[in-house]
Chains A and B, each alone.
Chain A
Amino acid sequence: QKEVEQDPGPLSVPEGAIVSLNCTYSNSAFQYFMWYRQYSRKGPELLMYTYSSGNKEDGRFTAQVDKSSKYISLFIRDSQPSDSATYLCAMSRNAGNNRKLIWGLGTSLAVNP
């Protein structure tokens, strides 16, 4: 079993839909959780960063962490065609420890006009 599981999709939604992207993990020591967005033919870029359990909101994006269930989510409200990308979850035990960052495979999202 992989340490982080992420459904690769593809996920296709109409413009304006609420999108839910999810990752599950097995290591209860993970405390820092990230979502990176990767556009086609580009490198990933950090979208959301959260510590421990709870919610974090940034504009149309909300990151949610449920450590008891070992489950993290990224919600996109009022989705736009410009949100079409691959979304990668990543997590680690320690802050800023990219040597031990564990990545999901990414979920491909298409938002149709």
Chain B
Amino acid sequence: DADVTQTPRNRITKTGKRIMLECSQTKGHDRMYWYRQDPGLGLQLIYYSFDVKDINKGEISDGYSVSRQAQAKFSLSLESAIPNQTALYFCATSAAGGRGNTGELFFGEGSRLTVL
């Protein structure tokens, strides 16, 4: 089984619908992230969480919300989806920072979302 699991892997929805993307991890990491990846724009950080009670906005949080239900679970919601949120979404985890820690990100396989 994958260390970082995302569901669903593919989703097609309509403008205005609420969508939730879920992420669970077995790495035991405290830090979790949501990114979106678009051709020509690369990876952009949406939200990140350093523990269950810590949620922070990334560079492109407008139109998104998150919930950290447990150390191992971090979900991303689009309250009212719009076509320009069509993208590939990645969940990632990393160990806590510190001396000698590279901060290596461990990514899930991605959730491809299409908003019509």
Contacts and interface: CB of A to CB of B under 8 A. Distances in A.
Nearest to B92: A43
Interface stretch (A11-19, A60-68, A74-82, A103-111): A103-111
Contacts of A95: 97, 99-103
The 6 closest A-B pairs by CB, nearest first: A43-B107, A96-B103, A96-B97, A105-B42, A96-B101, A103-B43
Interface in B18-51: 31, 33, 40-43, 45, 48
A1 to B, nearest CB: 15
A43 B102 contact: no
A101 B95 CA distance: 15
Interface residues of A, number: 22
A52 to B, nearest CB: 14
Contact of A98 (B41, B42, B94): B94
Contacts of B42: 88, 103-106
A96 B82 CA distance: 33
A75 to B, nearest CB: 20
A97 B107 contact: no
A105 B41 contact: yes
9 contacts: A36-B105, A43-B108, A44-B43, A46-B102, A88-B43, A95-B100, A97-B103, A98-B31, A98-B94
